[in-house]
Amino acid sequence: MDRVVLGIGGNLGDREALLKDAVRHLESKMRIVKKSSIYETAAWGGNSSLPYLNQVVVMETGMSPEEVLDFVQEVEQQHGRVRNERWGDRTMDIDILYFGKQIIHTDRLQVPHPRLPHRNFVLKPLAEVLPDFLHPKNGLSQKELLERCGDTLSVRLWPGT
């Protein structure tokens, strides 16, 4: 079994219900090891207008990285994801942040996620659940990545988590 780390988020619809339902769908084919708290975060990337809810989920799977990618894209579509514009508003976005300690670079998939070190909305929940996990490319822990991140956009704990 491989450990896969997913970043899950969305900023349209009933954000919390969609997030929790997506996690339930992911559980149908993978086993949850850890879940971060849910965070409300400012939109990142310039094309989104509403704040997001984000969470990191650590899972175990027997699927290959490409199979996981296909599965998470299926879960996104089941939750109303429409790919109209990059970094635009969406009901659901699921990114593969890490796949064990593998470094993957294909036309469809880059792991570790290439923008991970630059995004507080990913690093804060990552540092919560995997503070000492070392990034396979730069050797820094998630806690160190968060401390060095220059992203100053708001990331706050969602009430009730």
Catalytic residue list: 81, 90, 93, 95
Contact between 65 and 99 under an 8 Å Cβ cutoff? The reply is yes
57's tokens: 């989920």
Within 8 A by CB and 6+ apart from 97, the residues are 5, 6, 7, 56, 111, 112, 113, 116, 122, 126
Bridge partners for 8 per DSSP? 55, 94
Question: From residue 103, how far is each of 79, 112, 155 by CA, in Å?
Answer: 29, 6, 28
DSSP character string of 65-110: HHHHHHHHHHHHHHTT----STTB--S-EEEEEEETT--EE-SS-E
CA distance linking residue 159 with residue 161, whole number of Å: 6
Contact between 36 and 128 under an 8 Å Cβ cutoff? The reply is yes
